[in-house]
């Protein structure tokens, strides 16, 4: 019985990653995985628990919320995506987000909320979880882990706010930079 050379085995590992990274992936290697997706929040799914009844439903510091959206291949949302419909076809997964406002809501504020996000690509058996701040500026968030092909990976989520879509929800461009966690 002839054993496979280490170089051939290494090539097979890279090919395996190439065929298992989610649609929209742009860079893969044994050292890590890098890919981008677009997120379109469906604002009809946004639920706010307002801590200050006088704010008339406008989020204020301390208000917490739960919201959902859909994930698309990176680059699907053009410009700010003002006319983009999160319900349109082409979704590659679902996005869930819960968080707390760290400032009264104002679209001009660089930071609005502290959130936990779950990216189902397309479901629970292939997911990524992240935590961090969000707002109108580009932010870097922590990837705390994943399931399926992402099991054992950690890293960074680079998030860019694009604008608000047709439902009033946010449009985001997200780039994941993942590496295997050290045991």
Question: Which three-class secondary structure state does DSSP give residue 158?
Answer: strand
Distance set, CA 48 to CA 34, 55, 86 (Å):
33, 12, 20
What pTM was estimated for this model as a whole? 0.82
With contact defined as beta carbons under 8 Å apart, do 139 and 132 qualify? yes
Let me know if residue 63 belongs to a domain. yes
Q: How confident is the prediction along the chain (183 residues), in pLDDT tens digits per residue?
A: 344 344 433 433 333 333 345 544 545 555 699 999 999 999 999 999 977 766 666 888 999 999 999 999 999 999 999 999 999 999 999 999 999 999 988 888 899 999 999 999 999 999 999 999 999 999 999 999 999 999 999 999 999 999 999 999 999 999 999 999 986
Domain that holds residue 107: 6-180
Let me know if residue 145 belongs to a domain. yes
What CATH code is carried by the domain that includes residue 33? 2.40.480.10
């Amino acid at each position: 019985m002839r054993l496979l050379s280490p170089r051939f085995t290494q090539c097979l590992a890279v090919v395996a990653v190439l065929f298992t990274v989610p649609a929209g992936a742009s860079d893969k290697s044994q050292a890590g995985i890098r890919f981008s997706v677009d997120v379109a929040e469906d604002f009809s799914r946004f639920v706010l628990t307002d801590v200050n009844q006088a704010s008339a439903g406008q989020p204020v510091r301390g208000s917490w919320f739960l919201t959902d959206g859909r994930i698309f291949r990176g680059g699907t949302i053009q410009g700010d995506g003002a006319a983009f419909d999160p319900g349109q076809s082409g979704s590659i997964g679902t996005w869930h987000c819960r968080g707390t406002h760290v400032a009264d809501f104002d679209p001009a504020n660089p930071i609005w909320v502290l959130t936990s996000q779950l990216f189902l690509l397309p479901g629970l058996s292939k997911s990524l979880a992240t935590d961090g701040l969000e707002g109108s500026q580009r932010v870097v968030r922590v990837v705390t882990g994943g399931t399926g092909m992402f099991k054992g990976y950690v890293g960074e989520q680079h998030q860019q706010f694009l604008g608000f879509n047709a439902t009033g929800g946010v449009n985001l461009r997200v780039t994941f930079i993942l590496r295997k966690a050290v045991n």
